[in-house]
Structure 1
Amino acid sequence: MKTASKRSTPASHIAIWGWPLVAARIAALLALVVICVPLHYAVAPFTSAKPVPRLFLRLVGTVAGLRVRSSGPQPAPRTFFLANHVSWLDIPAIAGLTGCAFVAHDGLASIGPLRWLCRLNDTVFVARHDRRSVARQVEQVREALCETGALAIFPEGTTATGTRLLPFKSSLLSAIDADAEHVPVQPIWLDYGRHVGDIAWVNDEPGLANALRILARWRPIPLTIHFLAPLEGADRADRKAMARTAREQIEAAMQRG
């Protein structure tokens, strides 16, 4: 369920001059699919790095209006990211910058074309509300880390307002609990600045309405991805310590602004 947040304008309202931009952007996104999918299959036999999905997601963000910059200590090639979650734009932004794959809830897997595109970027689907399958989900995350090198998770479990954090869920962090290979665990703060209230996907807003509203924006969407200090020592003692410390770091960064 989406968190509560007030909007001055209904999510479904799009000014008439926004629709041409929506149409142009949807056409551009379809063109990206038509170009990048064959290119991915052409390149795949020669590299395991999957550069085309990363390029595709970066371009998706650009077409949608994202203007991304980063700050802080740049991540190692093999890193487990823990990020706050504001919008579907978070995914192309992080992946386009780091080349990581994602852990996503299995609701996305029910949408055939979207599941297929997610699989091209090695997305790990988990049943968020199925406690009986947590052990298998943890194993899936471990396998994905070995195969992809970098993986991102949104431990809030859903999108929030971007001005405050929801509790962090720690169960899937068991995948790197007491990890013998010491995969870096690095928190990320996704900072949409003063635009966050317009970007956040909250209030049970339908996904299509949110996407159309974002695509109808004429102004660019600035996003700073703050790479915070990787967790070390006691902060990596177990999954709960990792979740707690990552949340504290992101919250402190948000307060500093």
Structure 2
Amino acid sequence: MNPSWHSEDAPDPVEIGALGWLLVILRGVPLAAMLFVGLLVLVAIRLIEKPICGMHRPVTAFLPQFVGRNAFRILGIKLRTTGDLMRERGAVVANHTSWLDIFALNARKRVYFVSKDEVAQWPAIGWLARAAGTVFIERNPRKAREQTKLFEERLRAGHKLLFFPEGTSTDGLRVLPFKTTLFAAFFAPKLRSFMYVQPVTVVFHAPKGQPDRFYGWWGDMDFGPHLLKTLAAWPQGSVELIYHPAVPVAGFADRKELARFCEDQVRNGHYRAVEADQD
């Protein structure tokens, strides 16, 4: 079974002109350099930080945020945010459009992503994810207790964990039903009493003259062409982050009720943002 979402319409063809290839170089080289240097600095600092601070990351936690903010400056994509960041301990849940979500969500808030275990084995991306403190999980019910314990350790250390409950990326034009599996860990006895969850809506606004799903990355789309298309765009579009109020897990009866509430918040925020964009 392929967990990826597939559109009924084929992805738009990637067409890059002379200006586009120039922008690929002008944006791609500094972006790659920043990622490479950022990774080296993060690993070097973590070698000192880990023995002293353990799971806490008083210094390296700021590096992904720095990279996220400057990635959008390099790409020329505008980043807009509304709403207040949660101060309580807990998790953030958001809809998922593409790999750009990682830069966007890191740019505003220091978060640690929760990702499927296979990502840890991906070349380059896996190394970056590990260095940034990503929590890797297996889709195995027998691992549920072990993973809940890991979540508890990270949350008690003050880490804000970020989940994509849709379980896949989309074309950015919709919000898929939230899977409830990961929400179950929030109801563990040692977590439920202090745990909060903040829903976040991520909305990508396409460049002028481009299809609304321009930034979407889904199904069997290859990363390379999508990256080149994004680097080559002129003018660029924007991404909007809408932070909804954080809610206590203890205020919900079970994972299904909490997942449904978060889904409604994210979907309604997405609908309103898209409607406003069309006015």
Q: Shorter-chain TM-score: what band? A: 0.7 to 0.9
Structure 1 residue aligned with 2:29: 27
* TM-score, with structure 1 as normaliser: 0.87
How far is the alpha carbon of 1:148 from its aligned partner?
5.2
Q: Which one of the candidate residues 10, 14, 17 is aligned to 1:15?
A: 17
Q: Name the % identity.
A: 28
How far is the alpha carbon of 1:160 from its aligned partner?
1.5
Structure 2 residue aligned with 1:142: 152
C-alpha distance in 1, partners of 2:249/2:228? 44
How far is the alpha carbon of 1:234 from its aligned partner?
6.9
CA contact 2:83–2:242 (8 Å) conserved in 1: yes
CA contact 1:2–1:201 (8 Å) conserved in 2: no
5 Å-filtered alignment, 1:131-210, equals: 131-147=141-157, 149-177=159-187, 179-194=191-206, 196-210=212-226
1:72 matched to 2:88? The reply is no
1:86 matched to 2:97? The reply is yes
User: Against the structure 1 CA distance between its residues 240 and 55, is the aligned structure 2 distance closer, same or farther, given a 3 Å change threshold?
Assistant: same
How far is the alpha carbon of 1:59 from its aligned partner?
2.0
C-alpha distance in 1, partners of 2:251/2:266? 14
1:96 matched to 2:77? The reply is no
CA contact 1:101–1:148 (8 Å) conserved in 2: no
3-state secondary structure, aligned to 2:99: coil
CA contact 1:100–1:150 (8 Å) conserved in 2: yes
Gapped runs of 5+ residues in structure 2? 274-279
CA contact 2:93–2:198 (8 Å) conserved in 1: yes
1:241 matched to 2:257? The reply is yes
C-alpha distance in 2, partners of 1:37/1:205? 26
User: Against the structure 1 CA distance between its residues 77 and 113, is the aligned structure 2 distance closer, same or farther, given a 3 Å change threshold?
Assistant: farther
How far is the alpha carbon of 1:215 from its aligned partner?
1.4
- For residues 133-192 of structure 1, the C-alpha deviation after alignment (integer angstroms, 9 at most, x for no partner) is 333333333333234521111000001222222121111122221634423211000011
How far is the alpha carbon of 1:42 from its aligned partner?
5.0
1:256 matched to 2:272? The reply is yes
For these two proteins, the number of residue pairs brought into alignment is 255
1:216 matched to 2:219? The reply is no
CA contact 2:198–2:244 (8 Å) conserved in 1: yes
After superposition, the CA RMSD in angstroms is 2.5
Amino acid across the alignment from 1:93: A
CA contact 1:5–1:203 (8 Å) conserved in 2: no
How far is the alpha carbon of 1:95 from its aligned partner?
1.0
C-alpha distance in 1, partners of 2:232/2:216? 15
Amino acid across the alignment from 1:105: K
3-state secondary structure, aligned to 2:247: coil
Amino acid across the alignment from 1:155: P
C-alpha distance in 1, partners of 2:67/2:88? 19
Structure 2 residue aligned with 1:122: 133
How far is the alpha carbon of 1:232 from its aligned partner?
4.0
